Amino acid sequence: MRAIVLLLCVAGAATLLACPGERSTEPEAASVPPDVRADYAVFAVRCSKCHSLARPLNSGIDDDGYWKTYVAKMRRQPGSGISADDSVAILRFLHAFSLDLRRRKSQSLEAPDGSAVDPGAQGPSGRLP
Ligand code: HEC
């Protein structure tokens, strides 16, 4: 029930630009900047229908081209309910998400404990010749 209230609240925030009294319990939602919340709401509804949101969010994909391919592929799944307008909003959210993910990945590259990630393993684009 709480999740539904949160989603309605997030969707409402697009027009009201405020959502008093409601604190997100989902880490993903909490880290979403206010200007991409409406897009996140579309993503959260559409991309959680057949699998959890962790599927896209933990996929490690941070490349707009890959997201375009994936969203098109998911949209073609029978009964996806994803419209052309939805995919525009979803791709906008995933673009912001990818920027954030790349930033977090580069921060972990600079980790002082020497556990740095191999720069060649940064994602699909990193492996291209
Ligand atoms: C109609 C059902 C459906 C919807 C809606 C849907 N997906 Fe999927 N998704 C699937 C199926 C089926 C798979 C494949 C599962 C498997 O292979 O185990 C999948 C897998 C994935 C994967 C993992 C692919 C991989 O190779 O591991 C990602 C990423 C993904 N979806 C992203 C999304 C995104 C983003 C959205 C919203 C735009 C979305 N999905 C909406 C059905 C759906």
In the predicted structure, residue 121 carries a pLDDT above the cut 60: no
Q: Residue with the nearest Cα to atom 16 of ligand 1?
A: 51
Q: Is 44 in the pocket of ligand 1 (CB under 6 A)?
A: no
For residue 46, what pLDDT is reported?
97
**CA 106 – ligand 1 centroid, Å:** 26
For residue 63, what pLDDT is reported?
96
Mean predicted confidence (pLDDT) in 2-6: 42
Pocket test for ligand 1, best of 51, 77, 95 (most atoms within 8 A of CB): 51
Q: Residues 61, 66, 68, CA angle at the centre, nearest 5°?
A: 125
In the predicted structure, residue 115 carries a pLDDT above the cut 50: yes
Provide the CB-side half-sphere exposure for 51 (13 A, CA): 8
- Give CA–CA dist 66/47, Å, rounded: 16
Mean predicted confidence (pLDDT) in 34-49: 92
For residue 35, what pLDDT is reported?
74
Is the whole model's pTM more than 0.85, yes or no? no
Percent helix, percent strand, percent coil in the chain, to nearest 5? 65, 0, 35
